[in-house]
Chains A and B, each alone.
Chain A
């Protein structure tokens, strides 16, 4: 499944939600705590944080191979992976406050 830039994705496996900052046409599933992330609201609410350590809100995660980048908008258990590869935390940018 391709990932569309700007879409907000969730899964029943974790309370974590992400927004796709950089999407891809490449085939592959985005998983969080083992569950596939999709645009629809899951029928069952997140079953709890049975996965790995909590992904904090506001952090960005990337897959260098596909270029996929996501932003965590709701915290929840990780890890995040795309097409079987675990996403890595992206370092914060330092920009001067312009407003």
Chain B
């Protein structure tokens, strides 16, 4: 079985339903299948061995993804913000790429524009030659965001993506009229997983190519969107826009899923207040795990909010419990499972876990576990708490310090809007603690006052060696904080 098996189920069970785009002009399940089949013929005629997609969100994305699957070649969506040199370097490593680009002149290499591709992959065109991909074949290649190291290409095989969908979505389970809005970029695992699982559920996908909170809110209202997925930075902006408008969130929204990075407790509290009738879902997953592996559902959110028990309330900051078919454990440095509440490495296994890169092969251990390189703990009832990347751990004079612990304390200071803590070079300790703080509007705070605030609540070895005030924290388009850039800004500062 492969991704086209799922698409053909959709074309058979939901063939006449518009599933991509606006109600009036969108593609039905059958139109998507026919276009993907015609697109596969183009790829086969060109003798290409990879489909490279260098564009934004829109109908060309699903057509190209499924066309690659029909042609049994990998689909590689790239970040359109990459430089020409970076794109050239990646393309040089692809055997005979079939290039679809929003700016063919920029990329050269005989690229088709998104429009040309859609026109050529028209329904009624010659169908592809049968054969099709095997479950073992590579379905999608995704470049990791590279916040802690150079980007790598993560390998997702057909069986990983189909296992994810079959393990977490019921076929055609969406209500008639259900629709979701997607604003994560196509080169992100969330966009790939989101597309396939919503098609399978029979939920129409509406794309917003360039996110602004105002456009997002207007489309949700106009298209009567029932479900949405956002990264925390988007939720921050949506909350701010609603406060500015003085209105609650659109009532059509029944489900709002967030994930991809840590969310501030204050933002979540504001969002829950502004969307009182919406069910919130926190999803935790990685590129290498074919999307979500744990989910904190709407009921978990409500129970945590209503509870007097601090342990239950704390679950608002958890990523929920493992999905069925996925096992998650916390391991100590020797690979032994940790007791509830003890922090260690988060490891995961199951049929959707890929854990493989083109550059380095499989990183799944002999027992089937993939090390997420995230640190965290699991409570007595299976709720998982993610503390941060193990690569971000600060080693100060031999002591391991997790940035998250210091960030949590600083975030509770009344003048602090946002904060990131990172390892900085330190003559005496090897590494020191750098705190990068965004102050709330109108606040003026001294470096020493924030250091004293941390010292009053944590050990002195966890007091920041340096506090810098910044206008905003640099992030990837999907909301991950770029700690490297913050630390680099210190070097620039020293050089001046």
User: Which residues from 2 to 58 on chain A have a C-beta closer than 8 Å to any C-beta of chain B?
Assistant: 6-8, 19, 21, 56-58
We find that the number of chain B residues with CB closer than 8 angstroms to chain A is 38
> Binary interface profile of A, 77-99, with partner B (CB < 8 Å = 1, else 0)?
00000000000000011111111
Report the separation of the CA atoms of residues A72 and B189 in the bound assembly, to the nearest whole angstrom.
27
CB distance from B282 to the nearest CB of A (A): 9
Nearest CB on A from B261, distance (A): 15
Mostly helix, strand, loop or mixed at chain A's interface? loop
Contact of B8 with A by CB under 8 A: yes
Q: Say yes or no: A96-B297 contact (C-beta < 8 A), given A6-B135, A21-B166, A75-B12.
A: yes
Residues from chain A with a CB closer than 8 A to the CB of B291 are: 98-99
**In the complex, how many angstroms separate the beta carbon of B316 from the nearest chain A beta carbon?**
16
Knowing A56-B13, A98-B292, A99-B197, the reply to whether A93 touches B324 (Cβ < 8 A) is yes
Is B215 interfacial (CB-CB < 8 Å)?
no
A57 touches B12 (CB 8 A): yes
Residue of B nearest to A17 (CB): B5
Contact of A95 among B12, B135, B170, B194 (CB under 8 A): B170
Interface string of B93-134 (1 = CB under 8 A from A): 000000000000000000000000000000000000000000
Q: Considering only CB atoms and an 8 Å cut-off, how many residues of chain A contact the other chain? A: 21
A71 on the interface (CB 8 Å rule)?
yes
Interface centre among B171, B203, B255 (most CB of A within 10 A): B171
CB-defined interface of B340-352 with A at 8 Å, one 1/0 digit per residue? Answer: 0000000000000
Assess whether B203 is in contact with A97, with CB atoms less than 8 Å apart. Answer: yes
| B172–A98 touching, CB < 8 Å | no
| Central interface residue in A21, A57, A74, A94, by most chain B CB within 10 Å | A57
Interface flag for B295 (CB, 8 Å)? yes
**Contact A95 B1, beta carbon cutoff 8 Å:** no
Q: For chain B, residues 183 to 231, give those with C-beta under 8 angstroms from any C-beta of chain A.
A: 190, 193-194, 197-198, 201, 203, 227, 229
A55 and B173 alpha carbons, distance in the complex (Å): 17
Q: Give the shortest distance, in Å, between B178 (CB) and chain A (any CB).
A: 9
A74 to B11, CA, bound (A): 10
Contact B171 A98 (CB under 8 A): no
Chain B hits for A19, CB < 8 A = 1, 5
B159 interface contact, C-beta 8 A: yes
Residues of A within 8 A of B147 (CB): none
**Residue pair B1, A98 in contact (C-beta under 8 Å):** no
State A19–B1 Cα separation when bound (angstroms): 7
Interface string of B457-469 (1 = CB under 8 A from A): 0000000000000
Assess whether A99 is in contact with B194, with CB atoms less than 8 Å apart. yes
Q: Which A residues are closer than 8 A to B by beta carbons? A: 6-8, 19, 21, 56-59, 71, 73-75, 92-99
Given contacts A98-B259, A99-B257, 9 further A-B contacts (CB under 8 A): A7-B1, A58-B9, A58-B171, A73-B1, A74-B9, A75-B12, A93-B170, A97-B227, A98-B257
